Structure 1
Amino acid sequence: MKSVVVYTRVTADYRLSFYKELNEILKGKGVSLKVCSGESRAHESLRSCVEKLPFGMKLHNQYIGKLCWTIGLKSHAKNADVFISEQASSLIQTYFIFAFKKFFGVRHTAFWGHGENLNTENPQWFRSAWKRYWLTKVDWWFAYTMETKRLLVESGFPSHSITDVQNSIDTSELKDALSTESAESIAVRFEEIFGAPRLEGQRVGIFCARLVPLKWIPFLLRSIEIMHEKMPDFRMLIIGDGVDRDLVKSFCITNSWCKWLGAVHGVERVKYFAIADIFINPGMTGLAVVDAFSAGIPYATTNNNIHSPEISYLENGINGIMTDPSEEAFAEAVFSVLNTSKLKKMKKHAKESGKNYTVEHMAKRYAEGVVALLEKK
């Protein structure tokens, strides 16, 4: 039986369903899967799920500043037919194993990731240069999205050795829970949150993410303030926690039409997504766009340089909005959707998009890439 080892610094809990699905597909093709990772840094909010996987190996991460050394990884990578690592310049052993793969008996190596340092407004030249150098030194790429594949091809990596996995998360619980929401329960919940019945045609925006600088929280607050000036009946829900929580709390105290709900996870978010008409996040966008589409609501953001590859799922004017990074332009664009018949069409397209980006599809594409790599000489 062929063996595949996937290494990530931390196996985040949102990957649990994906790995289970991937393992079943690979097992049916005569391929064994092993997932190796350690624990997060003390200040991080990442929740590990590797110990919940029968084929998962919980190792120990030793952190040296921004670098990470995973104790015990080498023994698990040894003699693997395929060794796949997330693309992170901080993972020292990835490059050690890649450089000496023959010594470790590793047949093929592959990266899984973005292709570039995307989620930063001030990229460090050395980390970017290091990533670019190693980008073409592997046998295969598991690209997050078609946008990642485009970046890789532009950097000189052969297109035929790239799998666009269409990165996603498990949205089945979210969809199932939303399908049980009734108009009556949604109306009652709206009144509980905002203290008054929902008016006919009243629009609600939602933000659900960490309250951190990359999310452009001051920009968000000023934008929704402009929207409310244009549409006094507009209401806003903010879900999340983080270093910018005080900005949000202060804003909500003086603007009763905006409610901060703190950190909410999993299916608990459903009762709030069910109320919303549009997801509003002018800052960095990642897998939240998949959540929005799964809930059947369009996604609004700006054309900035810090988005994750999943931004390629957004089709401007069809299932979402992307504007210039101006508070006025952003607010005007969202207002123009909420105030016209465009909203109904966008919701329809968002829901259709939500059917395309699932862990089932992702696992199938990933497995196809693994099989193609194993067949490579």
Structure 2
Amino acid sequence: MPKVVIIQTEVKHYRLPFFTGLYTALQQDGIDLRVLYSNSHPVPSLRKDCFDLLPHIGRRVPGYWFLKRFIYQPIWKEIFQADLVITGSELKYIINPVLLLMSALKLKRIAFWGLGPNRHPTRSALAEFVKKPFFNRVDWWFAYTDSIAEYLCSEGMPRERITNVQNATDSGELKRLIEGIADHEMREAKIALTGSASTRIGLYCGMLQKIKAIPLLIQAARLVKQKCPDFHLVIIGNGPERQWLEEAIAGELWIHYLGSKFGRESALYYKMADVFMLAGTAGLAVVDSFAAGLPLLVTALPTHPPEISYVIDGKNGRVASHDAVSFASVIIETLSDPGMMERLRMGANESSARYTIEAMIENYRTGIKRCLATYGYSPTLTISEVPAPETTFR
């Protein structure tokens, strides 16, 4: 049975259904998957959103952080036993240079999984310069989105060795939770929170850190409140900006900071919201917004993660300039136009049907099978027997 190892620094809560589903799918193909992960970096750990996988799927391994940027994971036994090793493309993985050497010497098949170029505002230009030449030195790429697949192809990675996994969360579960909440329950909760069943609600659910531009979100919300007296802002999440947020909104009873919420409790606020508001970088929150059928209102940034490519201005969301006045203007225009609201809701629902965890699992599964078959690691699979999915970049 071919063995596949996926290396992660930690397992976020939104990855649990993905790894569970991928493990089950690969077992049906006669492929054994193991996910190896460690403790969170000290700063992300403040969000308390990391979990453990079931022991037959993954295992927590020691992780030693150096200079708060690099992690060493002593997992050599598992690497040598694997037929395919999938790791992140980030420089933080100290073992990656050795893995690349093993790939070059044809001792091991190595794949990258991720977003390719780092667009994070605090990224190091030197780090990006160093890692870029290695993008096409691996045996396979599992790209987050089609835009990343296109970028990798332009950098010299053969297109037949790139799989667009179509990065997503378990939006189906969120959708089911929302549908399971009765309208009267939502109305009662809305009245209890805001004092009225007719309140217009903007929702933010995500990390509380600088890249999410929480101050800009608050500034824009205040401008909206001036024009729309029945507007309320609901904020869900945790992170290093929490203290600043709590102090900034003290006394503003129409801004509701609720801390971290998961499962049905989180779904309740998605159901009562009218729009989803993202002032900063837009990652997988895009998929959750679509699952809830919410118009997604974002600002234009060069630092957006690749999932921003899912947002089509005027169809499933709106894109404003990255300033409070422009963002507030787009929010007000959207909330004040019933026709636009309905059109954006329909677009969000259509996008939700496309960007699903099931599609991501199937794309990833097919990519693994194609990779193994290409390099002859599975006698039961041949490349001609494993068709590329529609979402695989080619």
State the TM-score, normalizing by the size of structure 1: 0.93
8 A contact 1:140–1:373 mirrored in 2:
yes
Determine the structure 2 residue equivalent to 1:18: 18
- The one-character-per-residue Cα deviations of 1:133-176 (angstroms, maximum 9, x if unpaired) are 21111011100011211221222222221111011112233212
Residue 344 of structure 1 and its aligned partner are, at CA, apart by: 1.3
Match runs of 1:319-358 below 5 Å: 319-340=316-337, 341-358=339-356
Percent of residue pairs bearing the same amino acid type: 29
Determine the structure 2 residue equivalent to 1:209: 206
Determine the structure 2 residue equivalent to 1:285: 282
8 A contact 1:16–1:53 mirrored in 2:
no
CA distance in 2, matches of 1:47, 1:239: 13
Determine the structure 1 residue equivalent to 2:118: 117
8 A contact 1:78–1:105 mirrored in 2:
no
- The one-character-per-residue Cα deviations of 1:6-31 (angstroms, maximum 9, x if unpaired) are 11121223212111211222222222
Residue 37 of structure 1 and its aligned partner are, at CA, apart by: 1.6
Determine the structure 2 residue equivalent to 1:368: 366
Instruction: Give unmatched runs, 5+ long, in structure 1.
Output: none
Determine the structure 2 residue equivalent to 1:297: 294
Residue 50 of structure 1 and its aligned partner are, at CA, apart by: 4.4
Determine the structure 2 residue equivalent to 1:245: 242
Determine the structure 2 residue equivalent to 1:197: 196
Residue 317 of structure 1 and its aligned partner are, at CA, apart by: 0.8
Change (3 A) 1:218 1:371: same
Change (3 A) 1:252 1:145: same
CA RMSD of aligned residues (A): 1.8
8 A contact 1:218–1:247 mirrored in 2:
no
Determine the structure 2 residue equivalent to 1:68: 71
CA distance in 1, matches of 2:232, 2:84: 50
CA distance in 1, matches of 2:98, 2:297: 41
Residue 234 of structure 1 and its aligned partner are, at CA, apart by: 1.4
Change (3 A) 1:247 1:302: same
CA distance in 2, matches of 1:114, 1:223: 30
Change (3 A) 1:141 1:104: closer
Residue 104 of structure 1 and its aligned partner are, at CA, apart by: 8.7
Residue 112 of structure 2 aligns to which amino acid in structure 1? Answer: F
State the TM-score, normalizing by the size of structure 2: 0.89
Residue 90 of structure 1 and its aligned partner are, at CA, apart by: 0.9
- The one-character-per-residue Cα deviations of 1:209-242 (angstroms, maximum 9, x if unpaired) are 1221111111111111111112122111111223
8 A contact 1:79–1:104 mirrored in 2:
no
Residue 70 of structure 2 aligns to which amino acid in structure 1? Answer: L
CA distance in 1, matches of 2:206, 2:2: 39
Residue 82 of structure 1 aligns to which amino acid in structure 2? Answer: L
Residue 47 of structure 1 and its aligned partner are, at CA, apart by: 4.6
8 A contact 1:282–1:301 mirrored in 2:
yes
Determine the structure 1 residue equivalent to 2:89: 87
SS at match of 1:330: helix
Residue 77 of structure 1 and its aligned partner are, at CA, apart by: 0.8
CA distance in 1, matches of 2:160, 2:352: 27
- The one-character-per-residue Cα deviations of 1:183-234 (angstroms, maximum 9, x if unpaired) are 211111111111x2223xx421011112211111111111111111121221
Determine the structure 2 residue equivalent to 1:143: 143
Residue 312 of structure 1 and its aligned partner are, at CA, apart by: 1.1
CA distance in 2, matches of 1:88, 1:266: 30
| 2:155 paired with 1:169 | no
Determine the structure 1 residue equivalent to 2:385: none
Change (3 A) 1:53 1:165: farther
Residue 365 of structure 1 and its aligned partner are, at CA, apart by: 0.3
Residue 41 of structure 1 and its aligned partner are, at CA, apart by: 2.8
SS at match of 1:274: helix
8 A contact 2:16–2:53 mirrored in 1:
no
SS at match of 2:63: strand
Determine the structure 1 residue equivalent to 2:187: 187
CA distance in 2, matches of 1:267, 1:114: 30
CA distance in 1, matches of 2:183, 2:50: 36
CA distance in 2, matches of 1:43, 1:228: 33
- The one-character-per-residue Cα deviations of 1:308-327 (angstroms, maximum 9, x if unpaired) are 11111111111111122122
Give the number of equivalent residue pairs. 371
Residue 101 of structure 1 and its aligned partner are, at CA, apart by: 3.9
